[in-house]
Structure 1
């Protein structure tokens, strides 16, 4: 007995450099498995059933996914998500430009940083309410400006052609602030010796930015891309606050349509909502896998 205990103790001593970090990681891994991996697997399973969330689930195979192909509302939601993806990425170059402007030692720069940082710290609900008032056709600031310059007033949130773009503009406000913070952090880590050497070689302006600054900001750019894409695909709160999917369902995205079908009074179709969630997860997974692979290839090439 004592011999077995001694052998175990000696094994732990020999492998403590491997065992110690694994023990520290174990709680996080368990939480990740319970609260992330298990719900994802459960969503895949539920998507093959017809279930209202209370009664007995009935297995229907791929019927939920087959219905998606003919569901006009799903098509509109998917197309709106593509718009979100394309336009939401504007937050990255906008955040970079603001970060470059704020990365200076001039009078009042702390005040400017606070003003640009402000959208990031306020709730998405507050952002939605502010832009709802901003777009209001009767007293909104947008129409006051348009009519002041002689243009006709527009009802952004009531026009099926404009509503999605109006909500995306609202989402870009805090997202740009977040990307700005990432780039400000990255600019603090830029090697000043490389910048000085590039200046001695005559590099300045766009060349300095493209060949010297941006390569050192690659980690910040990677995080900005991942977070922005995830934010574009899960854009639920702004739509819920500003339009509730209207007018006539034209501002829906996949996350909101999933909620409508699975959890709202209009649906309670848990299986169909899970199928929509699976499609959204697979789209998100493709983008994240691509960026992780690109990052891995860059690190592999740098060795």
Structure 2
């Protein structure tokens, strides 16, 4: 009995000594387990699946790097990759657009709450709704776009039916809610801007663009970092707008890697899960490269301070 009592006392004292360090980890444990099971494990599973030829039902056949070799000769893959690059370049316009809208909404003017609600609205509606709205907007028969073009004497334009315009048209639709998201990030960041630095800048004669570039923008680095990461991920995983607006058409001209992955794995190409996983791995590595670059840049900046 005495030995048991001593052991219990030691155990109790160890818990009390380490309680502060262990308690946060106990609260984090469920989230970490979910993250490992639903994010990290599927990543490694996708790498493994990309080495097999599998239809999702029968016996998987190991083919090594054959799926990646087939990607190298796949014209549809390069079309999807090119469209992803276009998405990435044009989607980044949401960041400066969101910043300037946030600067406008950060002022105290009449009706500013109404303006904030109007600019915030695209962020809270579904991407499917955004896709439908812009599909009607681009419609060559009754869409508002062609009404406006006709009003200035220009011929009608079938944006979603033209191989040269379809990707740009979908990106414009995606920029609407993405700009609203960046605006919210910058509005939050502007609330944390040090007014003393702004006042010091004014005393030094900084105003307009100089004030923005040298005083305000450096203090918005955390918001800019998040905006870049979220925008790049959004551009590379774009799927829902393409599915709603064109379903990859016309003639596959609006495909991106995420949509092409869906097509080959779960659609008309015969349920090629291994080939779809290979596309997913390529997309993941591209995302990882961009995110790693921004994390490394942020780390160097913080270390230099």
- TM-score, normalization: structure 2? 0.97
* 2:45 is the alignment partner of 1:26: no
Is residue 2:138 matched to residue 1:154? no
* Partner residue, 2:118: 115
Alignment match of 2:257 (pick from 254, 257, 267)? 254
1:294: Cα distance to partner? 1.4
Distance in 2 between residues matched to 1:260 and 1:165, nearest whole Å: 21
The structural deviation recorded for 1:4 is 3.1
Tell me by how many angstroms 1:6 deviates. 2.5
CA RMSD for the aligned pairs?
Answer: 0.9
The aligned counterpart of 1:52 is 55
Equivalent position to 1:163, from 147, 163, 166: 166
Residue 210 of structure 2 corresponds to which residue in structure 1? 207
1:243 to 238, 243, 246: 246
Q: Which runs of 5+ in 2 are unaligned?
A: none
2:135 — aligned with what? 132
Partner residue in 2 for 1:80: 83
1:94 aligned onto 2:97: yes
Q: Deviations over 1:3-28 (max 9, x none)?
A: 33332222222222321111111111
Distance 2:277 2:5 in 1: 54
1:277 is displaced (CA, Å) by: 0.3
> Equivalent residues in 2 for 1:215-234 (5 A)?
215-234=218-237
2:194 equivalent in structure 1: 191
Where does 1:38-49 land on structure 2 (aligned, <5 Å)?
A: 38-49=41-52
**Residue 296 in structure 1 maps to residue 299 in structure 2:** yes
Report whether the alignment pairs 1:174 with 2:177: yes
Deviation of 1:264 after TM superposition, in Å, equals: 1.2
Distance 2:245 2:178 in 1: 17
Say yes or no: does 1:143 pair with 2:149.
Answer: no
Q: Structure 1 residue 37: deviation in Å? A: 0.5
For these two proteins, the number of residue pairs brought into alignment is 302
Task: Could you tell me which runs of 5 or more consecutive residues in structure 1 were left unpaired when the two chains were aligned.
Answer: none
1:234, CA displacement in angstroms? 0.7
Partner secondary structure for residue 80 of structure 2: helix
For the residues of structure 2 that align with 1:152 and 1:171, how far apart are their CA atoms? 25
Q: Secondary structure at the match of 1:261?
A: helix
What CA distance in whole angstroms lies between the structure 1 residues aligned with 2:181 and 2:126? Answer: 13
The C-alpha deviation readout for 1:128-170, integer Å capped at 9, x for no partner, is 0010011111111111111110111111000001100000000
Deviations along 1:82-130, one digit per CA (max 9) or x if unpaired, are 0000000000000000000111001011111111111111110010001
Quote the Cα distance in structure 1 between the aligned partners of 2:15 and 2:290. 41
**TM-score normalised according to structure 1 size:** 0.98
Q: Deviations over 1:189-234 (max 9, x none)?
A: 1111111111111110011001110111000000000000010011
Structure 2 CA distance for aligned equivalents of residues 37 and 90 of structure 1: 31
Please tell me whether residue 271 in structure 1 is matched to residue 248 in structure 2. no
Offset from partner CA, 1:48-71 (integer Å, 9 cap, x none): 000000001010000000000000
